Amino acid sequence: MQEPAPDQHPAITGAVELLLGSGGKRLRPALVFLSARLCGADPDVALFAAAGVEMLHTATLVHDDLIDGSLMRRGAETLNARWSPAATVLTGDYLFARAAYWVARTENTRLVQRFAETLMVICNGEIRQMFDGRGKVPSFQEYEQRIYAKTASLIALSAESGAILAHTDEATIAAMRTYGERLGLAFQVVDDVLDFVADERTLGKPVGSDLRQGLVTLPVMLFLEQSGDHPALHRILHQGSSDPTVQEAVRAIAASPAIERSLQIARDYIREAKEALQPFPPSEYRAALLDLADFVVRRQF
């Protein structure tokens, strides 16, 4: 899927190779393939959908890193760390186009529509976070909505893709979608936990990056619920952050019960994800999807 498009500028080819070659977990394409196998979709067509989701995911990362000013991802420099904002914006746009191109190759208009809707949900969530989110402690419902938009919506789409391509009944599409949505919510909660407890080298980016940007995630919410207030956190949320303050807050939260309580919520999501697969008869593909769910809460990176 990395074959260059006709007349593709060498700078883009280089960027695409860099971005897609830099590793990452490939969770979304894996979900598309497993979902396609489980539901009986043509694997050749699923390949287009898998390329589409991974490309769409990469496009959103390119713009996110630019917006957040992130310089490292997956242990490598981000595109915006090397390129001008203008070139980074355009490369992200190009990747959106490539994503749309691959999804269109499935010749399944329902899937194309679901892709477009998902990108709308993702952008809308980002804009909401930007206008409403910084330094504010969300309710649990607001937090769940935010991580749905940011992460779970695309993972849900990946999981339902196979069912849509296989033209199964609506109940099967809904079950695959629920599996993906719950998996995606768990995935983001674990991401938010890792931002406090991970080893920077394994994580491939600095810890505490959400807090540094004034973004309040589940571990912070649960920490505040238990501790009432904390001087370092208070300064970060009300007056902006300095690096020693962020490190102090990260250490306090990492050592608190808020981490285990967050992981318990992730495990609850995973239980719901697995339950959604119960209607499917046992098969190696169903087993793989169940294993994948367990991996999401056990991972260290």
What are the CA-CA distances from residue 241 to residues 71, 103, 214 (Å)?
18, 41, 8
One residue of 18, 81, 101, 214 binding its own copies per CB under 8 A: 101
By CB under 8 A, the count of residues binding its own copies is: 48
Nearest to 285 by CA among 12, 46, 80, 10: 46
Nearest to 19 by CA among 83, 86, 109, 68: 83
Q: Does 240 bind its own copies (CB under 8 A)?
A: no
Cβ density class 62-89: b for 16+ within 10 Å, e for less: bbbbbbeebebbbebbbbbeebeeeebb
Range 15-44, binding its own copies (CB under 8 A)? none
174: exposed, middle or buried (Cβ count in 10 Å: 0-12, 13-18, 19+):
middle
- Pick between residue 56 and residue 297 the one whose CB is nearest to its own copies: 56
Of 24-32, 71-79, 88-96, 255-263: span binding its own copies (CB under 8 A) = 88-96
Phi and psi dihedrals of 139, rounded to 5? -70, 165
Distance in Å, CB of 60 to its own copies, minimum: 8
One residue of 27, 36, 45, 119 binding its own copies per CB under 8 A: 119
One residue of 11, 137, 171, 255 binding its own copies per CB under 8 A: 11
Phi and psi dihedrals of 136, rounded to 5? -105, 140
- Pick between residue 45 and residue 237 the one whose CB is nearest to its own copies: 45
Q: Does 91 bind its own copies (CB under 8 A)?
A: yes
Contacts with its own copies, residue ranges (CB under 8 A): 5, 7-9, 11-12, 60, 63, 66-67, 84-87, 89-94, 96-98, 100-101, 103-109, 112-113, 115-117, 119-124, 126-128, 130-131
